[in-house]
Structure 1
Amino acid sequence: MHNFEFVKPSTVEEAVAALQSDEAQPMSGGQTLLPTMKQRLAAPEKLVSLTGIASMQGVSAVGGVLTIGGATTHATVATEAAAHYPGLAGLAAHIGDPAVRNRGTIGGSLANNDPAACYPSAALGSGATIVTNAREIAADDYFQGMFTTALEEGEIVTGVRFPIPQASNYQKFEQPASRFALTGVFVAKYADGVRVAVTGASEEGVFRWTEAEAALSANFSPDAIEGLSVSADGMIGDLHGTPAYRAHLIKVLTKRAVAAAS
């Protein structure tokens, strides 16, 4: 790991100012960035920690919307969101291991947009709004491909707003070594329809399975998607699973999520 300057601002404004310098990079929980730096795949000259910003922490529910600060840890989401949005809390409770859950943050996960991360499926499956220091971005516009988002240089995720559904569930087939999702499916049922978001399977990153959404909006039952299938085209293939295997998992996990949510 190369030498770097470390700063820990106490406000969003201070963090944004610190990020204006050359080779500065924001860091939340550091669960992705620090291992990358240890492998010398990244070498920022300055790390701007977001964990000391009180306004970016915490969970609250008002008017059917769950708001989570960008620097809130997975462990906090797992406990404090449980009474309001159990599907999301359950997802957070099974990210990584206890060390990761007590350091990693929702904002860091969404900013990194790893193609096998869990939170992107929850945000997309909930129709969430990603709030930054500069604007608000609908989840449908935020995720733009593997490790790619709508965030601009120096923009940080300060919070996320989740509309609370009538029913929800997340099912993940774990990659046993990393505990990332080999494939994961988040299902959320709202009064105006059902959303289904898939992570870990596609070369393009998280995506919505719109055919399943239409079928489940008409009949929220595992049987509703019995006749559907997912093409293996564009799915990830590696030593853990072929594209066809991941495509098959999408349907299996969607049915399990619907059954659990019901």
Structure 2
Amino acid sequence: MYPASFDYQKAESVDQALAALAANPDLKIIAGGHSLLPAMKLRLAQPPALLDVWGLEELRGITRDGDTFVVGAMTTHADILRSEVPLFPEVAGWVGDPMVRNRGTIGGSLAHADPSADYPAAALALGVEFVIRGQSGERTVHADDMFQGMFESAVQPGELLTHIRIPATIQASAYEKFRHPASHYAVVGVAMAKHASGEVRAAYTGAAEKAHRLSKLEDGIRSAEFQFKNLVEAGDLLGDRFASAEYRAHLVDVLSERAYKRLG
């Protein structure tokens, strides 16, 4: 299968990328390409023009800034896998295959906001902050406000996700996933993190139009009577030929209990 025809530009710097986006609102950003290109080949996405930001070295790498890890948006899944940041390396191990992990980028995956992707649930559990730049300057978006719908994130036209900020003080974390055997995307995935304050944040992916916090679990987890049952309503979930909404709701319960037991 071949994508529809499109124009192509390659950015040499973040400033050049932002200038190109301002000059042409039709430009669609492409990084590693493992999220966008398959959709283009299936004609599910037909952008008239692509802006390639893969070569922006200023957006690569992982550094420590006090109690925070700063991760460049062009950092690959393979680099995440080998890093010391909390939770994300475990999640990266579930992403695709070695070819995908060596080419795909953390920023591309998160900005793409695929409802079956692994990282959004982990970002919600960790309370990640997203640094986004546009012509008017830089802004920071919390994970709770990042994922706004199916393939819809807080990154607006003309903007570029440059970095993510991950707390380095996470005490324990876990990711449990029931994956589709062919695509390896999450039928359901549950991420959980215990923060330095003792707060447990949890989120699920793959089951709805976007990743969601598991509020019922977070609110009730300290109760001695808490049970991992009916954490989400089936009516709020998606059903398809891979799994019914009811089965996905069951998976959220099962995977949440597994993840919580691993927190210790």
Q: One fold, TM greater than 0.5? A: yes
Task: Name the aligned partner's letter for residue 187 of structure 1.
Answer: M
Count of equivalent residues: 255
- The separation in 2 between residues aligned to 1:72 and 1:152, in whole angstroms, is 21
Aligned pair partner of 2:202 in 196, 199, 221 = 196
Aligned letter for 2:243? G
Letter of the aligned partner of 2:164 in structure 1?
V
Output aligned runs, 1:71-86, within 5 Å: 71-80=74-83, 83-85=84-86
Per-residue CA distance 1:51-79 (angstroms, 9 max, x = gap): 11112111122322121111111111011
Contact 1:169 1:186 in 2 (8 A): yes
1:84 Cα shift? 3.7
Uncovered stretches (5+) of structure 1, i.e. residues with no partner: none
Q: Which residue is 1:162 aligned to?
A: 166
The one-letter amino acid paired with 2:202 is V
Inter-CA distance 231–39: structure 2 relative to 1 (3 Å threshold): closer
> 1:48-63 maps to which residues of 2 (within 5 A)?
48-63=51-66
2:16 alignment counterpart: 14
Residues 194 and 214 in structure 1, CA contact (< 8 A), matched pair in contact too: no
Tell me the distance in 2 between the aligned counterparts of 1:225 and 1:248: 13
The question of whether the paired residues in 1 share the 8 Å contact of 2:230 and 2:249 is answered with: no
Paired residue for 1:46?
49
Question: 1:22: how far off?
Answer: 4.4
The answer as to whether partners of 1:7 and 1:47 remain within 8 angstroms in 2 is yes
Secondary structure (helix, strand or coil) at the match of 2:149 reads coil
Deviating runs (4+, > 4 A) in structure 1? none
Q: What is the alpha-carbon distance in structure 2 between the residues aligned to residue 76 and residue 258 of structure 1?
A: 27
Q: 1:123-159: per-residue Cα shift (whole Å, max 9, x none)?
A: 1111111111131101111111221222211111111
Identify if the C-alpha distance between structure 1 residues 47 and 228 changes in structure 2 by more than 3 Å, giving closer, same or farther.
closer
Query: Can you list the C-alpha shifts for 1:179-201, whole angstroms capped at 9, x where unaligned?
Result: 00000000000133110011001
Aligned to 1:98: 98
Query: What residue in structure 2 maps to residue 5 of structure 1?
Result: 7
* 1:110 partner amino acid: L
What SS does the corresponding residue of 1:168 show, helix, strand or coil? strand
- Residue 182 of structure 1 is matched in structure 2 by 187
For residues 41 and 119 of structure 1, the distance between their equivalents in structure 2, rounded to whole angstroms, comes to: 22
- Residue equivalent to 2:131: 131
Q: Which runs of 5+ in 2 are unaligned?
A: none
2:164 counterpart of 1:143: no
State TM-score, norm by structure 1. 0.91
- What does the per-residue CA deviation read over 1:90-109, in whole Å, with 9 as the maximum and x for residues that have no partner? 10111011111111111111
Structure 1, 108-117 or 225-234: larger mean CA deviation: 225-234
1:27 aligns with: 30
Identity %: 41
- TM superposition score normalised by structure 2: 0.90
Cα RMSD, aligned residues only: 1.8
